[in-house]
Amino acid sequence: MNLNIQKLREKYLKKELNVEEVLSSIKEKIEQTKDYNIWIYTLSDEQLSPYLENLKNKNIEELPLYGIPFAIKDNIDLKDIPTTAACKEYKYTPKKSAFVVQSLIDAGAIPVGKTNLDQFATGLVGTRSDYGECKNSINPEYISGGSSSGSAVSVALEMASFSLGTDTAGSGRVPAAFNNLIGVKASKGVVSTSGVVPACRSLDCVTIFTKSLTEAKTVFEIANKYDEEDIYSRVYIPTNKKSKENFTFAIPKKEQLEFFGDEEAKKLYFEAAKKFESLGGKAVEIDFAPFIESANLLYSGPWVTERFIAIKDVITKNEEVVNPTVRTIIKSGEKIDAVNYFESEYTLKKNRKYVDKVLKKFEFILTPTTGTIYKIAEVNADPIKLNTNLGYYTNFMNLLDLSALALPAGFRKNSLPFGVTIVGDKFDEELLFEYSSKYLGK
Catalytic positions, written as ranges? 73, 147, 171
Stated as kind and residue range, the H or E segment containing 214 is: helix 213-223
Q: Name beta bridge partners: 284.
A: 250
DSSP class of residue 14 equals T
* Cβ neighbours for 21, distance < 8 A, ≥ 6 positions apart: none
d(CA 121, CA 390): 15
Pairing of β 110-115 and β 39-42: antiparallel
Nearest residue to 183 via CA among 399, 412, 393: 393
Question: Does a cis peptide bond (omega within 30 degrees of 0) precede residue 437?
Answer: no
* Cα separation of the two ends of the chain: 22
* Cβ neighbours for 134, distance < 8 A, ≥ 6 positions apart: 36, 37, 38, 116, 117, 126, 127, 143, 144, 146, 149, 150, 153
Letter for the amino acid at 235? V
